Amino acid sequence: MIRPSYAVKLARTKLRSKRGVLVTSIVVASLLFAALIATIIVFTGAEKSASNFIKKAGNDRYLVKTLPNIPYKSVGFVNPPSLEDIRAIKAFEKTYYENLQNKYKSLGLEYSKDSEVSALLPAAWMPETTPEEQRVSVNWSSPVIDLLNVQKFENYAKTASNKFSDLKDIGGKYGATGYYVVDKPSQLSPIPGSRLIQNEKENYGETEPKSGDMSTYGYYINSIHNGNYSFTDQKLLNRYLLTTDASNLKGVPVVVSAQEAASLFGKTVGLGEEPKNAGDKRTWLKDVQTKLNGQTYQACYRNSAEQALLEKIQRDYVEIKSNEGVKGYKKPSMIYAYPTEGCGNILLKEDTRVISEKQTDTKNEETQKRLGNYVMPQHSLVTFQIVGIKYAQPYTDYSKGVNEYVKSLLVSQDDFSTNLDIPLQMYEALPDEMKIDDVQESSNALATQRARSSEDFSPRVLEFATVENARSFLDNETCSNSASECEKKFMASPYGSNYLILDEVNRLFTRIVSIAFPAVLGLSAIIIWFTISRIMAENRKETAVYRAMGAKRSDVTAIYIVYVLLVALQIALVSLAIGVVAAFVADNIYGKALTDIAVTAFGILDEAPKFSLFDLSSPLLLIVIGSIFVISIIASIQPLIRNSLRAPIRDIRDE
């Protein structure tokens, strides 16, 4: 039996023969394995980095936003209404106006049928073949429909199985916790109900919300102007908050978009425009947070009565201008003027009413008061204080480049509503004089809006300890928000990040590796088999000499096995070196840019993790390295067997 040290020496000697074929084989095989190794290192780093950002954004949890799936027909009417609905509406309408008439009578007031607003209107657009009773449409402005919607919702709520208590029961099966309030309507009326005060003035010419590019993003980055606010649990806003101390607040706390904050207040504090480069954008966002932390602004909230007066000012102005020079034209008896200061009183400019007109107006006002319908014109100056900055994400077209692709993977496009977030706990800590009386009270009678603001039917964010639990809950108990038809009790989507997409990418990568790995092994086996076969065939005389000198078949086999292992070692070292260097270069090229993208996308500036494309912790690397040796041995079996069975005398004679 040949000594192992001799086998190693002889094998190393053989490495110096046929260098061209050997080097070519090693290089080709090494490149194949290097590509696989580099891919594993890069993907492992990217996957771990993305997971770190996702966990940081979700407080080490996987978040799911849910809302009850309420069939619209259960809480409202559709056009055209069914015959059953038509008859129900007519019956309710008759009772409603009879009760209203009796109320007038009991108060000693004169009732006029002209004040009635019909719940059903004739519908000329319906086919003439439609029965006359059904040729109607729902009049959404009728108080009858408002009350019927409320009644339908109340009836639905009595037997509903998708209340908050039901959600907790279902979520508990999957280990859900949290159940945080999100997007709870503030009912602070948006524009024109409230207007931003700039330069101590209100712009009465602005009556419509700004929408930017007409997307959710476009509305969101104009929410201060539009006056859109909602309440969200403070824990969901932690990564955006610059302070959590409510003791020194000067107004209603609010988290605003960096884009709108910089646009409205940037010039006063020396902020430049938002840069395009991801690295510069990160610095800019930090600058926005630093300079606008604690910034206050004001909006003027005017109730429906004052809004009606503002509309009258414009309407009267148009009427007067249109009738200039018209003989016999009589101006309105009461002409109002816009306030002279921000959130000031609406001024009565002219009052030419005669005594009888004043008496009639006074009587009408008293009637509305006795009926409980009178709304006194009022306004209130609301002060807001910025306590958080959120970088709003525009729609991401992942086909435009790696930056956009990474953002589409990391950040959910559904997280941004059109409302700015008021941290609920910070608001509740405010003294009563700083709160808005009706800021949490719904004044809209529509059933669907009541459902959203109700504790039982409001949106909630659940948190799960594992992505598997979150996925199981989403798959088994909910429909996606984009589903056109849904038979389940709740609708839901991932919140805070696209962790499910990342999980799918991870699974896809595993499937790709399961295909690529055998392919690389197969190609490498062919290359190694060809190399060993070629070298053994060209070294027949040398093998025959060993045999003639007394070496056994096992001795020759041992020499070639050591030789194969040395070749495999060189392939492993070269492929590992190339793969590691390639991954390291990729990390140096893209790592910092991806970190900047992730930081701005998630809004995590302080103690932000690094987005790295370099990670050697995957067990797949050991499997790949080990497989190089295994496949080398397997590929050499057939040439070894053939070589050991050859007759040495014939090989010497042939040479």
Q: At what angle do helices 540-548 and 553-602 cross, to 10 degrees?
A: 130
| CA pair distance 435, 387, nearest whole angstrom | 16
Cβ atoms 36, 624 nearer than 8 A: yes
Give the residue carrying structure tokens 């009427």.
319
| CA pair distance 461, 178, nearest whole angstrom | 7
pLDDT for 441 equals 33
In the chain the first and final C-alpha atoms are separated, in Å, by: 27
What single-letter DSSP state applies at residue 201? Answer: B
Cβ atoms 500, 475 nearer than 8 A: no
C-alpha 360 chain-centroid distance = 56
C-alpha 377 chain-centroid distance = 40
pTM of the model: 0.77
Residue 118: C-alpha distances to residues 76, 96, 100, 113, 557 (Å): 17, 11, 14, 10, 101
Give the contacts of 636 (CB within 8 A, at least 6 positions apart).
528, 529, 532, 560, 561, 564
The two tokens of residue 576 are: 């590992």
pLDDT for 563 equals 77
The two tokens of residue 653 are: 């004679």
| CA pair distance 97, 107, nearest whole angstrom | 15
Walk along the chain (655 residues) in steps of 10 and give the mean pLDDT of each run.
60 61 80 88 84 73 90 86 92 92 86 89 90 92 89 88 93 93 84 90 89 81 91 90 90 93 90 82 88 93 90 93 89 92 92 90 86 85 92 63 57 68 92 67 42 76 90 92 83 81 68 76 78 65 57 67 82 91 89 78 71 87 87 78 62 53
pLDDT for 474 equals 92
The two tokens of residue 586 are: 């990729």
HEC profile of 247-297 = CCCCCEEEEEEHHHHHHHHHHHHCCCCCCCCHHHHHHHHHHHHHHHCCCEE
Beta strands 334-337 and 347-351 are antiparallel
Cβ atoms 644, 580 nearer than 8 A: no
Collapsing DSSP states into helix, strand and coil, what is residue 411?
coil
Q: Which class for 484: exposed (0-12), middle (13-18), buried (19 or more C-beta within 10 A)?
A: exposed
Phi first, then psi: give them for residue 414, nearest 5 degrees.
-90, 0
Collapsing DSSP states into helix, strand and coil, what is residue 206?
coil
Give the residue carrying structure tokens 């086909």.
399
pLDDT for 374 equals 84
Q: Facing residues of 289 across strands?
A: none
The two tokens of residue 486 are: 């849904």
| CA pair distance 472, 469, nearest whole angstrom | 5
pLDDT for 179 equals 93
What single string gives the DSSP state of each residue in 58-97? Answer: TTTSEEEEEEE---HHHHS--SSPPHHHHHHHHHHHHHHH
Cβ atoms 288, 262 nearer than 8 A: yes
pLDDT for 448 equals 45
Residue 9: C-alpha distances to residues 3, 14, 208 (Å): 10, 9, 87
| CA pair distance 635, 524, nearest whole angstrom | 9
Collapsing DSSP states into helix, strand and coil, what is residue 229?
strand
Residue 143: C-alpha distances to residues 87, 93, 214, 370, 445 (Å): 17, 9, 32, 19, 9
Phi first, then psi: give them for residue 482, nearest 5 degrees.
-90, 0
pLDDT for 59 equals 67
What single-letter DSSP state applies at residue 434? Answer: G
| CA pair distance 215, 518, nearest whole angstrom | 46
Q: Facing residues of 478 across strands?
A: 490
Residue 458: C-alpha distances to residues 166, 167, 338, 475, 482 (Å): 13, 11, 39, 21, 18
